[in-house]
Amino acid sequence: MANTLVRNSGGPAAPTFDDFVERFFYGWPSFESGSRTAWTPRTDIYETEDAFVVDIEAPGVPKDQVKVEVKNGQLTVSGERRLERKAEKESYRLERHYGAFERTFTLGETVDAEKITAAYKDGVLTLTLPKAEKARPREIAVEVK
């Protein structure tokens, strides 16, 4: 499953047993489950001819609360979703996750890290990782002798 081009080192968003227990007793996963991030956004990765595309679900996260960073061959997307709605009475059901989130991806040599771009639309952060020249498919002319 893991590929060398874009390795996904963040955990999947599937609920853990701790989530289950916390949800059962408290209604939603705890913000203090040991890690410093509260939740992990669901992420899809697909490949086109020229690039790898990473779609990260971050609904309700303001664009200026998201940080995309490349360091030592690691691409890190982090940010925070705050519970901003001031309920006059109470919030009866909180299924959404709030607090800090983070995903880290290991970049292979096939990605041109200088040219990574990010866009945010309808709650989805799309990172485009252009392939390095050497990783693109190229045709080799066959010389006829």
Residues of the shown chain interacting with another protein in the complex, contacts defined by CB under 8 A: 1, 3, 5-6, 8, 12-15, 20, 23-24, 27, 42-49, 52-53, 55, 57-62, 85, 87-97, 120, 122-124
Give whichever of 96 and 145 is closer to another protein, judged by the CB atom: 96
CB of 5 vs another protein, minimal distance in Å:
7
In sequence order, the 6+-apart residues with CB closer than 8 A to the CB of 46 are 52, 53, 55
CB of 144 vs another protein, minimal distance in Å:
33
CB of 142 vs another protein, minimal distance in Å:
27
Give whichever of 69 and 83 is closer to another protein, judged by the CB atom: 83
Contact 123, 129 (CB under 8 A): no
Give whichever of 55 and 112 is closer to another protein, judged by the CB atom: 55
Work out the number of other CB atoms within 10 angstroms of the CB of residue 37: 19
In sequence order, the 6+-apart residues with CB closer than 8 A to the CB of 63 are 120
Q: Where would I find the beta strands (DSSP E) of 16-62?
A: 43-47, 51-57
Give whichever of 73 and 143 is closer to another protein, judged by the CB atom: 73
Q: Which two tokens stand for residue 91?
A: 């919030």
Give whichever of 57 and 69 is closer to another protein, judged by the CB atom: 57
Q: Which two tokens stand for residue 77?
A: 């997307």
CB of 120 vs another protein, minimal distance in Å:
8
**Chain mean position to CA 88:** 33
CB of 12 vs another protein, minimal distance in Å:
6
